[in-house]
């Protein structure tokens, strides 16, 4: 009896071959194009803590105040689509209990708007689209995808420069493990401000171009390894004024050992990181590995069935049984 390769074996072989081709495409083509920074982002991070602030009404520094830092990030979709980058508009406000809730963010103790433009795949700063200030470094509101166990240059917007954040192992945030990075900022002059001379110890001068100084007791960030999302952030800013050429702080504008993500902000950051991380893992690991494994099995089975069918077709009848002949 002669046999040929069955349609079923050819289907198995074709399907297995398709899955073997699909696996590297998912890992090397689809996954990198899925790991991009969004252009329609709209998130709010809230930090809380206690510290000293300068009261403009009392013209003095008031200690032990509740401090709330609110940072809102909104993607400018039109500018992003036009430039091909992620254009994020950021506002950061610092409030005490006296300015919360604020009907207008400009009523806050401090209000800073700025724009961060970043490459959608690498997260590197891009200098276009009315970016302000001139942001540098490797990380700011988020880290690059696939965070490494090394130091990163992190942009400190108050400093106006980068800060080295060193990898310090792993830590869990709301049950989700991330990479921990820490750093600090020594006292650094960041600019000047025109103020009454009495504020900086020069009461005989009505106005003085005082020096603004900034330091940070400690920056701590816990970052999701796969997505680069910041799961937890803690900072300890100290902003002061000095008399022109002075070597000591004359007035404290803001000083806190620690303001950190609220529990609600942590939970939302972890939720988003898990969602995005699961999607990237599916495209970069689960589906490619599954496709490769299934493709190998199906291709082998299909090939074996095809070969057996062809061998059966090509082999002669060697049974020795004479074939009957028809005679009239």
Residue 221 confidence (pLDDT) above 80: yes
- Count the neighbouring beta carbons within 10 Å of the beta carbon of residue 54: 19
For residues 260 and 232, the answer to whether their CB atoms sit within 8 Å is yes
Domain ranges of the chain: 28-281
Q: What is the pLDDT of residue 128?
A: 95
Length of the chain (residues): 328
Give the integer Cα–Cα distance in Å for 294 and 281.
Answer: 18
Alpha helices in the chain (DSSP H): 7-25, 31-34, 77-83, 263-281, 287-314
Angle at 38 between CA 219 and CA 262, to 5 degrees: 35
What are 307-317's pLDDT values in tens digits?
676 665 555 55
Using H for helix, E for strand and C for coil, what is the string for 59-115? CEEEEEEEEEEEEEEEECHHHHHHHCCEEEEEEEEEECHHHCCCCCHHHCCEEEEEE
Give the integer Cα–Cα distance in Å for 222 and 185.
Answer: 18
User: What is the average pLDDT value for the chain, to the nearest integer?
Assistant: 85
Q: What is the mean pLDDT of residues 19-40?
A: 66
Residue 167 confidence (pLDDT) above 70: yes
Q: What is the pLDDT of residue 79?
A: 95
Residue 321 confidence (pLDDT) above 60: no
Strands (E), 129-229: 152-156, 161-173, 176-195, 208-223
Q: How confident is the model at residue 232 (pLDDT cuts 50, 70, 90)?
A: very high
* 110 compared with 41, residue with greater pLDDT: 41
Closest C-alpha to 35, from 139, 146, 126: 146
What are 254-283's pLDDT values in tens digits?
999 899 999 999 999 999 999 988 777 666
Q: Which of 55-59, 121-125, 170-174 has the lowest mean pLDDT?
A: 55-59
Percent of the chain at pLDDT above 70?
A: 75
Give the integer Cα–Cα distance in Å for 324 and 44.
Answer: 90
* 92 compared with 22, residue with greater pLDDT: 92
Q: How confident is the model at residue 75 (pLDDT cuts 50, 70, 90)?
A: very high
Q: What is the pLDDT of residue 283?
A: 60
């Amino acid at each position: 009896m002669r046999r040929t390769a069955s349609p079923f074996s050819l289907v198995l072989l074709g399907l297995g071959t398709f899955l073997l081709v699909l696996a590297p495409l998912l890992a090397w083509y689809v996954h990198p194009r899925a790991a991009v920074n969004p252009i329609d982002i709209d998130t709010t991070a809230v930090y809380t803590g206690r510290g000293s602030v300068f009261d403009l009404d009392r013209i003095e520094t008031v200690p032990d105040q509740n401090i709330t830092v609110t940072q809102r990030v909104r993607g400018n979709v039109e500018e992003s689509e036009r430039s091909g980058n992620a254009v994020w508009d950021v506002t950061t406000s610092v409030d005490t209990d006296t300015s919360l809730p604020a009907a207008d963010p400009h009523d806050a103790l401090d209000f800073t708007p700025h724009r961060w433009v970043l490459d959608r795949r690498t997260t590197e700063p891009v200098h276009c689209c009315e970016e302000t200030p001139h942001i540098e470094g490797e990380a700011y509101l988020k880290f690059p995808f696939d965070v490494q166990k090394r130091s990163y240059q992190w942009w400190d917007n108050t400093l106006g420069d980068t800060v080295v954040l060193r990898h310090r192992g792993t830590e869990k945030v709301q049950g989700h493990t991330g990479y921990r990075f820490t750093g600090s900022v020594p006292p650094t002059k960041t600019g000047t401000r025109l103020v009454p001379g009495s504020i900086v110890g020069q009461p005989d001068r009505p106005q003085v171009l005082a020096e603004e100084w900034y330091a940070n007791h400690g920056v701590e960030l816990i970052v999701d390894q796969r997505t680069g999302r910041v799961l937890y952030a803690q900072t300890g800013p100290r902003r002061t004024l000095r008399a022109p050429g002075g070597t000591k702080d004359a007035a404290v504008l803001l000083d806190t050992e620690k303001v950190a993500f609220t529990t609600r902000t942590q939970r939302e950051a972890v939720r988003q990181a898990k969602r995005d991380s699961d999607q990237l893992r599916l495209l970069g690991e689960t589906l490619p590995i599954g496709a490769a494994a299934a493709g190998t099995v199906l291709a082998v089975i299909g090939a074996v069935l095809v070969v057996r069918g062809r061998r059966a077709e090509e082999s002669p009848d060697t049974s020795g049984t004479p074939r009957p002949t028809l005679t009239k």
